[in-house]
Amino acid sequence: MTVFIDPPDWPGHGRLWSHLISDVSLSELHEFASRLGSPTRAFDRDHYDVPAEHYRTAVGLGAVEVDTRELVHRLHSSGLRRRRRLPQPPAGGGGGAVGG
């Protein structure tokens, strides 16, 4: 099992964050995150957000340290990258004025 983590350089909610990914499968990622103690709410489409204070623990459990560019490359190459969906327009065609 190999999962990858980038440095905790991403600010949010008053702390710094890393991203944890697998380049093999989401089940591998979920299994590792469970061992790390990450809550399911930390999962975001194709990665886990990991607070800086858990970075060293993740590495100690076997996460491989890579820079963010390498992490994104591995995620795209794996085919596991899931982009955020754009909002869909409401059904029924557009919401223009009715009648006339």
In a domain, 27, yes or no: yes
In a domain, 73, yes or no: yes
Distance CA 38, CA 84 (A): 21
Number of domains in the chain: 1
Please indicate, yes or no, if residue 97 is contained in any of the structural domains.
no
* Distance in angstroms (rounded) separating the CA atoms of residues 82 and 15: 25
Q: What does the pLDDT look like over 52-100, one tens digit per residue? A: 999 999 999 999 999 999 999 998 887 656 665 556 666 655 544 444 4
Q: Which amino acid is located at 21 in the chain?
A: I
- Reply yes or no on whether the pLDDT at 30 is more than 90: yes
Query: Cα separation of 6 and 74, whole Å?
Result: 12
92 versus 15: the higher-pLDDT residue is 15
Per-residue pLDDT tens over the stretch 38-51: 999 999 888 999 99
State the residue for tokens 């990991």. 50
Residue 8 lies in a domain: yes
Residue 97's pLDDT is 46
pLDDT at position 79 is 61
